[in-house]
Structure 1
Amino acid sequence: MGKLSGKVALVTGAGRGIGKAVATRLAEDGAKVAINYRSSAADAEKLVAELRERGAEAVAFQADVSDPAQTGRLVDQTVSEFGTLDILVSNAGIEHFGPLESITPEDFDRVFSVNTRGQLFAVQQAARHLGAGGRIVLTSSVSATRSVFHHTLYAASKGAINSMVLNLAAELGQRGITINAIAPGGTVTDMADTHGISYKHPLLNASLSEWEKMHGALGRLARPEEIAAVTAFLVSDDASYITGRTIEADGGFF
């Protein structure tokens, strides 16, 4: 029996990257898992097939979490499929790099609609079904508390998550529900492949791998499974007295 046996988990943005690792870990721990994706249908269905082959119960649902109506439908589909909901892991997010003068209102709306508004309404919709012992984990970033060149818009969208969990903890705590956030550092994903180099200050004459060694105590990026392990802890009974906190899983980033 796994730590999460009998639990039902919804993981947004779970078709690939950290979300995929989280969904896999929760299934390994015994949870029934609803895997949300926006556009990577093939990846999500492949993950469902892999988990089912290993004896887990899993299903994939398409939804764009920037649309609260679609998020509500996603939660309802999960409950209809599995009969209940115990865990929400809000992982869906998008990156943005750009200097101040390049940021447009459209950029702001696009980033905040997913990274901030999308997570708030995911909590609102999930909370309709969560009971005592419910667990919510949102996704922040080390960028919320570290200065990164040309990363203002993204960092602001994630900084709001830290405030969100801090303030929602008291409200949800009255119902026996915990809410926390995880703030990953650099992680080996396709997003890191695309944007990793942008985290290095343009005036720093060093390769990306050299920069990683210079700015992290462990000198490397995280594996998605390492971020998933922290998430699995936060949704387990072992973390029953932790709420309103943002856990930095950043390899000692400085």
Structure 2
Amino acid sequence: MIDLQGKVALVTGGSRGIGRAIAQRLAGRGAEVVINYVRHRTNASEVVAEIVNKGGRCQAIRANLADEDSLAAMFDEIRSQYSRLDIIVSNAASGVLRPVMELKSRHWDWAVNINARALMLITQQAAAMMERGGRIIAVSSIGAVRAIPNYTVVGASKGALESLVRHLAVELGPRGITVNTISAGVVETDALKKFPNRDEILASARARTPLGRLTTPEDVADLTLFLCSDLAAMIHGQAVVVDGGYAIYG
């Protein structure tokens, strides 16, 4: 059984969907969890309450990860309470879902700053708090390597995120810190409700997934837990796919 007792984890975007499931899974195995949120205060409070009511330890810190000063302030608060960070899960994501010809430069900047640049800034802040055996995990999507209608800036930013993970892996590997990407298939979360072609995406994903169902936030959380464990000590610089076989259709 994977035991995370004594470890401290930061999960960005931890108030809903995949981030919420990850926070709950890590806390359920003994980790003390800090969740980051920016808009959904009520959801974040619910996650904290759920974890604490089950005997876990969790707190929520508000920070806009697209803003460097806000991100730095979050780490000032973390450092005031903890001497170390063992696990970082960069899950927060955002972006405008529009055809290419309708996009503005600000849409590009927003998606890249939240979905890719934030991991660089988080790593710069957190690296001094991490010891050998530390884990950095970035949550990506199949849209990083496959064209999806209306997903242009998000997909491009996720591609940048996956490239950044490989470079971080080279730099941090000698310090005993592993860095990996989780590439999730189609997951039915609140974020998917923003897709104009949501129903079509869900129907197609179900039909094209050999295991016959969509990926759930809990599936992603299970893979996260594994990558946080000693069992994954030699998995490094990889994009590990969890999608029920959806991607093998090409």
Q: TM-score range by the shorter chain?
A: over 0.9
Alignment-mate amino acid for residue 43 of structure 1 = N
The equivalent of 1:77 in structure 2 is: 77
Q: What TM-score do the two structures reach when normalised by structure 2?
A: 0.93
Structure 1 residues 106-125: aligned runs within 5 Å: 106-125=106-125
Identity among equivalent positions (%) equals 40
Q: CA deviation at 1:192?
A: 1.8
Q: Identify which range, 125-134 or 214-223, moves more after superposition.
A: 214-223
The equivalent of 1:212 in structure 2 is: 205
Q: CA deviation at 1:37?
A: 0.6
Structure 1 residue ranges without an equivalent (≥5): 201-206
Structure 1 residues 124-203: aligned runs within 5 Å: 124-195=124-195, 197-198=197-198
Residues in 1 aligned to 2:19 and 2:169: alpha-carbon distance in whole angstroms: 23
Residues in 2 aligned to 1:196 and 1:123: alpha-carbon distance in whole angstroms: 34
Alignment-mate amino acid for residue 64 of structure 1 = N
Alignment-mate amino acid for residue 71 of structure 2 = T
The equivalent of 1:225 in structure 2 is: 218
Deviations 1:104-134 (A, max 9, x none): 1111111111011112211221112111111
Residues in 2 aligned to 1:208 and 1:62: alpha-carbon distance in whole angstroms: 32
The equivalent of 1:203 in structure 2 is: none
Deviations 1:125-174 (A, max 9, x none): 11121111110001211111112123221111000111111111111011
Residues in 2 aligned to 1:192 and 1:150: alpha-carbon distance in whole angstroms: 12
Residues in 1 aligned to 2:42 and 2:85: alpha-carbon distance in whole angstroms: 25
Aligned to 1:138, what secondary structure does the other structure show?
A: strand
Deviations 1:26-73 (A, max 9, x none): 001110000111011111111111111111111111101111222222
Q: CA deviation at 1:79?
A: 3.2
Residues in 2 aligned to 1:56 and 1:120: alpha-carbon distance in whole angstroms: 29
Residues in 2 aligned to 1:87 and 1:116: alpha-carbon distance in whole angstroms: 18
Residues in 1 aligned to 2:196 and 2:223: alpha-carbon distance in whole angstroms: 22
Aligned to 2:6, what secondary structure does the other structure show?
A: coil
Q: What TM-score do the two structures reach when normalised by structure 1?
A: 0.91
The equivalent of 1:8 in structure 2 is: 8
Residues in 2 aligned to 1:124 and 1:21: alpha-carbon distance in whole angstroms: 26
User: Structure 1 residue 245 and structure 2 residue 238: aligned?
Assistant: yes
CA RMSD of aligned residues (A): 1.7
Classify 1:194/1:250 alpha carbon distance in 2 versus 1 (closer, same or farther; 3 Å): same
Q: CA deviation at 1:234?
A: 0.9
Number of equivalent positions = 247
Classify 1:139/1:209 alpha carbon distance in 2 versus 1 (closer, same or farther; 3 Å): closer
Residues in 2 aligned to 1:90 and 1:124: alpha-carbon distance in whole angstroms: 13
Classify 1:3/1:132 alpha carbon distance in 2 versus 1 (closer, same or farther; 3 Å): same
Residues in 2 aligned to 1:91 and 1:215: alpha-carbon distance in whole angstroms: 25
8 Å CA contact 1:78, 1:84 repeated in 2? no
Classify 1:194/1:220 alpha carbon distance in 2 versus 1 (closer, same or farther; 3 Å): farther
8 Å CA contact 1:10, 1:78 repeated in 2? no
Q: Identify which range, 21-30 or 44-53, moves more after superposition.
A: 44-53
